[in-house]
Homo-oligomer: A and B are copies of this chain.
Amino acid sequence: MSRAEQQQPAARPTLEAVAARAGVGRGTVSRVVNGSPKVSAKARAAVEQAIAELGYVPNQAARSLVTSRTDSVALVIPESVAKLRSEPYFSDIITGVSAELAESDLQLLLVLVRDERERERLTRYLTARRVDGVLLVSVHQDDPLPELLERLELPAVLNGRRSAEESLSYVHADNAGGARAAVRHLLSRGRTAIGTVTGPLDMEGAAARLAGYRQALAEAGVPVDEGLVAHGDFTEHGGREGMRELLARRPGLDAVFCASDLMAAGALQALREADRRVPEDVAVVGFDDSVVARHTEPPLTSVRQPTEEMGRLMVRLLLREIAQPGRFRRQTVLPTELVVRKSA
Contacts and interface: CB of A to CB of B under 8 A. Distances in A.
Given A65-B62, A153-B9, A108 B110 contact: yes
Contacts of A75: 110
Nearest to A117: B102
Contacts of A107: 109, 111, 125, 130
Interface residues of A, number: 54
A64 to B, nearest CB: 4
A236 B262 CA distance: 20
A301 interface: no
Contacts of A118: 102
A153 B9 CA distance: 10
B105 A121 contact: yes
B95 A10 contact: no
A25 interface: no
Interface string A52-93: 000101111110110010101001000001001110101110
Interface in A142-196: 152-153
B108 A111 contact: yes
A128 B59 contact: yes
Interface string A8-46: 011010000000000000000000000000000000000
A108 B74 CA distance: 10
Interface stretch (A202-210, A242-250, A290-298): A290-298
A98 interface: yes
A259 interface: no
Interface of A: 9-10, 12, 55, 57-62, 64-65, 68, 70, 72, 75, 81, 84-86, 88, 90-92, 94-95, 98-99, 102, 105, 107-112, 114, 117-118, 121, 124-125, 127-130, 152-153, 265, 291-292, 295-297
